[in-house]
Amino acid sequence: MKLISGLSTVISAAFTIQLLLGQSIATAWEPTKPVEFVIPAGTGGGADQMARLMAGINDKHKLSPRPFIVVNKSGGAGAEGFLHVKEKKGDAHTIIITLSNLFTTPLATGTPFSWRDFTPLSRMALDRFILWVNEETPYKNAKEYLSAVKQKPGMKMGGTGSRQEDQIITVLLEQSQGVKFTYVPFKGGGEVCTNLVGNHVDSTVNNPAECVSNWKAKRVRPLAVFDPERIPDKEWNGIPTIKEALGADISYNMLRGIFGPPDMPKEAVDWYVGFLKKVFDTKEFQDYLHNGALKPAFATGSEYVKWVEENDKLHNELMTKGGLIKK
């Protein structure tokens, strides 16, 4: 009887453990409705391209039980998008892709938000910037173009938004070379490059992915990359660094990262981190990084938070130096 009783106890315990494990697996969090994927920028730019690609990768590979619905909220240099997500405290079905306007917009506009209002999920990549001119212009290199700008102050530099990444680089270039541009803001990087093709501006500092199609179509010409090293990808490697081209020590990389609303539940955070790593590892996403000359830079947790903290401080310094902070 003791043997039967003991065996019964073991079986009962094993059944209980199996039941608990089954419940744990059954209750693991995953989206139960479509996920709103907010882009705090206009259509056609780098953030818009990446977010739409990620949503498409999810649809193709069924990485989530629910689709990701992309929504552009570009008003107020992206403040519209950030404030929208900030108001969704605890929401597990909203995420936002961030540019460096995560840092620049509150400094430039005084809009009440900072990166600390959001839940860091992952850094997907770092984006470079290139000095571009129209292919029809006579400028074959950066020295020739900057010489023309010195002779004709006020030539037009197109960029995404005011007091954002593109204008920061423009101001740094002005200070380094003793020139003066007329900075013309647009809603997104796609619109910026389109205006360069149309000769409505004289130059831009677009991200590579924002102008690559027009470059391949021989409508625009890259003069220099704002990075310490040349882009390693073969098709981009012929573009000199800004230091090689002008002797200017100007380097700037832009964040391509994902955040959630304030106080996103931990189980949702864990799911999104795993989901985003799966997206990052797909051939489609790796091809996108390669073709658009982005730096693969996946990071989560404390590594991501440390990088964000350091770059928040860096942008405060750069914008102070450029006189771009709202007083």
CATH number at residue 168: 3.40.190.10
List, for residues 92-141, the tens digit of each pLDDT value: 999 999 999 999 999 999 999 999 999 999 999 999 999 999 999 999 99
Do 49 and 185 reside in the same domain of the chain? Answer: no
In a domain, 280, yes or no: yes
Do 164 and 269 reside in the same domain of the chain? Answer: no
Domain stops at, among 192, 211, 246 = 246
pTM check: above 0.75: yes
Nearest to 127 by CA among 325, 311, 324: 311
Alpha-carbon Rg of the chain, whole angstroms? Answer: 24
In a domain, 4, yes or no: no
In a domain, 6, yes or no: no
Q: Order of strands across the sheet with 68-72?
A: 68-72, 35-39, 94-98, 254-260, 119-127, 295-299
Do 136 and 115 reside in the same domain of the chain? Answer: no
Do 225 and 81 reside in the same domain of the chain? Answer: no
Instruction: Grade residue 16 by pLDDT with cuts at 50, 70 and 90.
Output: low
Which tokens sit at 163?
Answer: 């007091």
In a domain, 326, yes or no: no
User: What pLDDT does 17 receive?
Assistant: 52
Do 85 and 153 reside in the same domain of the chain? Answer: no
CATH code (residue 276):
3.40.190.150
List, for residues 220-275, the tens digit of each pLDDT value: 999 999 999 999 999 999 999 999 999 999 999 999 999 999 999 999 999 999 99
In a domain, 236, yes or no: yes
Do 100 and 167 reside in the same domain of the chain? Answer: no
Domain stops at, among 222, 246, 270 = 246
User: What pLDDT does 156 receive?
Assistant: 98
Domain stops at, among 246, 270, 305 = 246
Beta strands 94-98; 254-260: pairing state? antiparallel
In a domain, 17, yes or no: no
Query: What is the domain extent for residue 178?
Result: 130-246
Domains of the chain: total: 2
